[in-house]
Chains A and B, each alone.
Chain A
Amino acid sequence: MTKQIKFLLATAASCGLLVACGGGGGSSSSSNSVSTVTPTPTPTPPPPVSNAPTFTSGVFAPDSDFVAQCETPRTGIDPLTDRAYADSDGSNLLEKFWIRSWSNETYLWNTEIEDRDPNSIADKIAYFDLMKSNELSETGSGIPKDDFHFSEPTEDFVARRNSVAESGYGFRLTNVTPEDGSGGRDFRILYTEPDSPASALQDGQVNFPRGTRILSVDGADLLFGNDIDTLNAGLFPATAGEEHTFDVQDIDGTVRTFTITSEDVAPAPVNRTEILDTPTGKVGYVLFNTFSPFESETSLQEAFSELETENIDDLVLDLRYNGGGLVAVAAQLGYMIAGGDRTEGKTASLLQYNEAAGNTDPTSGEIVRPFPFFDTGLGFSLPTSTDLATVDLPRVFILTTGGTCSASELVINSLRGIDYEVIMIGDTTCGKPYGFLPTDNCGQTYYTIQFRSVNDKGFGDYSDGFSPADTTNTFSEQSPGCTVPDDISKELGDPEEALLSAALFYRDNDSCPITEPATAKSYAPAAKTRQSIVDGYELNLRNDPFETTADSYLDATLPTETP
């Protein structure tokens, strides 16, 4: 394009815009003059005017009529905006009217909310809890359609937002403690970050290979002990440079004792990339653990540049522990896998809001734009002038578990939306097609489902997850592939590790390997309900790591959400 951009000066009168700012505006001078002396009877005072809004079923004032009118206004600087709080004197009732209007405007299934009089329920949180659909999932599985509706004090929200673990060892733990407690707590290493203390060698031995069980920390027994403070202090060091001593048991039963020093560790989005030479061609393997950091864009570009150079014949993308992150990067990944011809002009993700909102985002008022399969950098960490690498293959093997969530599922959904062959190996993904923007009002942060993400075909109802075709889960969306339990006895990327091995077998035989019944535990740190997601909070884990049930696996991930 060679056109010169012209600026049309709409107005030049821009220096020192004058603002009409008369003193008092509506008052007229006559108000100060006395025009008559005729005595008038003392008027009866009118009844007090109530500012309380009235409830009319099905009639909603804009939420802006009620926003930030608080029973207890906050003062000072809002840490979310670095500006003064917008709160003003209001009431508990006005807060509930805001909840009602805001829910009506932004809730995805707003027509399924029973419109309740805010006067009928005293507590605002209890009122909010009712502002949701009570329908069941559209997949027919019998699970509630909306299992994610909650609120929390904004100070908790802020505290968690600002809580970025600054140090650690670079391992990701999972808790596979049996319910009966007979064997004691069972904390295992899922994987380690490259170039971290956890993956470093001592006396020729990697400190924490995958599958290692932690037995004690600084002398405190992890299996049955109650010295929680010592355990937490050692497992989650507060600062870099702390030395802690671990007793661990390797997969082969060997028990080791060593001391390790904490460091500031940033999680690597692409943990490793391997080229596997097989008799039937080169297979690329990418362990991609998070879409969250802005660096995920560069990390994928580097990995796919290598794969492109190697001219691989097939790709195995390991998303088994990838809980998601930036959807835009997921759209880039789709291009990197499938190439330009298959993705050009197609939508990777489109957000759908409630029907009343149409193609407008009711939370911002902006027109909703589809995310295409981006083929260039987006500026997160890769310049916009950079063409993305692509392996341009006709199919992909994706390794999944219940820990495969959100943006990871969106990769699967976006590729299925363009009739691309996705072969799944592993287990059913977590099922998170919905999203929302946590919204503060008067010190409470509300989470209400506001949108779903759909693919080029308009499909987005996968709240029961995606499964390999041989699954027994009849409600999930199915793709060709094999159900295989996670295998922590082998390193990720090892061709003998169960999921990767199954992918390679399927590639050669177009069928699943015959395995023993899947009695093995799932090691995925995934969770679906709000409570179990909360159990995965690092903060909760730090504060009280052993209060969870055995089947809600603790997610001891390092700060994967670090911007």
Chain B
Amino acid sequence: MMSRVAMIGLAIVAGTSTASCKTYPSGDMTPAALASTDPSSMTAVKTAAAEVLGRKTVELGASELTRSPTVSVLPERAFSPIGAPYNQQSFVIPTRLLLMTDGKNCFLVNEDNRKLAHVKDVACRSLGQMPP
């Protein structure tokens, strides 16, 4: 995942939101980690993740955001009713978003469709080189 991500040149699809004015990266982006995972930072990450994925709300999965750029977003389970036949075979998988920085702001990026959202009022640091 990491190596694949690192080799991809992502292009921003701008104007993907209904927001009238957004913050966009000002230059090259590198993977980033949060300075803190305090509640306000995590709320900001969730808000940005919901925006990137076009969902009203999201639940985050297991991540290590102070040392890894990967943000796991748990799948929705709208179609997994209790007791329904075949509910025992669920092909859902968490969505992975990448935390990135342009040196000034933090962004969440969905590499599958190249959408991104600004993670507001959150400090993050560049991880520079991706881990192997």
- Report which A residues bind B (CB closer than 8 A): 1-17, 80-83, 148, 157, 160-161, 163-164, 291-292, 294, 297-298, 323-328, 349, 351, 371, 376-385, 405-407, 410, 432, 434-439, 447, 453, 530, 533-534, 536-539, 559, 561, 563
Q: A299–B31 Cα gap in the complex (Å)?
A: 30
Given A7-B28, A12-B14, A384-B78 contact (CB < 8 Å) = no
A378 x B72 contact (CB < 8 A):
yes
A3 x B7 contact (CB < 8 A):
yes
Chain A, Cβ-Cβ closest to B65 = A383
**30 pairs, A vs B, C-beta closer than 8 Å:** A5-B30, A6-B9, A7-B11, A7-B25, A7-B102, A9-B25, A16-B20, A148-B85, A160-B81, A160-B84, A161-B82, A294-B61, A298-B62, A324-B89, A325-B88, A325-B89, A376-B1, A378-B61, A379-B61, A379-B72, A406-B89, A407-B90, A432-B89, A434-B86, A435-B89, A438-B79, A447-B84, A453-B89, A538-B82, A561-B87
Q: A16–B129 Cα gap in the complex (Å)?
A: 35
B86 x A385 contact (CB < 8 A):
no
Pick the residue among B3, B12, B20, B130 that contacts A15 (CB under 8 A).
Answer: B20
State the total of A-B contacts with C-beta under 8 angstroms.
195
B12 x A7 contact (CB < 8 A):
yes
Q: A80–B81 Cα gap in the complex (Å)?
A: 11
B12 x A9 contact (CB < 8 A):
yes
A7 x B29 contact (CB < 8 A):
yes
- Report which B residues bind A (CB closer than 8 A): 1-3, 5-15, 20-22, 24-25, 27-31, 56, 61-64, 67-68, 70, 72-74, 77-94, 96, 100, 102, 129-130, 132
Q: A539–B80 Cα gap in the complex (Å)?
A: 15
Residues of A within 8 A of B73 (CB): 379
Chain B, Cβ-Cβ closest to A9 = B12
Given A80-B78, A378-B72, A435-B91, A14-B30 contact (CB < 8 Å) = no
Pick the residue among A6, A157, A164, A436 that contacts B28 (CB under 8 A).
Answer: A6
Pick the residue among A6, A12, A378 that contacts B93 (CB under 8 A).
Answer: A378
B10 x A8 contact (CB < 8 A):
yes
Interface of B is mostly: loop
Pick the residue among B15, B25, B74, B90 that contacts A11 (CB under 8 A).
Answer: B15
Given A2-B130, A16-B21, A377-B79 contact (CB < 8 Å) = no
Q: A82–B57 Cα gap in the complex (Å)?
A: 10
Taking the closest CB of chain A, its distance from the CB of B14, in whole angstroms, is 3
Pick the residue among A148, A294, A530 that contacts B74 (CB under 8 A).
Answer: A294
Given A379-B70, A559-B82, A1-B94 contact (CB < 8 Å) = no
Besides A378-B72, A561-B80, 16 more A-B contacts (Cβ < 8 Å) are: A2-B129, A7-B11, A14-B15, A376-B1, A378-B61, A379-B62, A380-B72, A383-B70, A384-B96, A405-B88, A432-B89, A434-B86, A435-B86, A438-B84, A534-B83, A538-B83
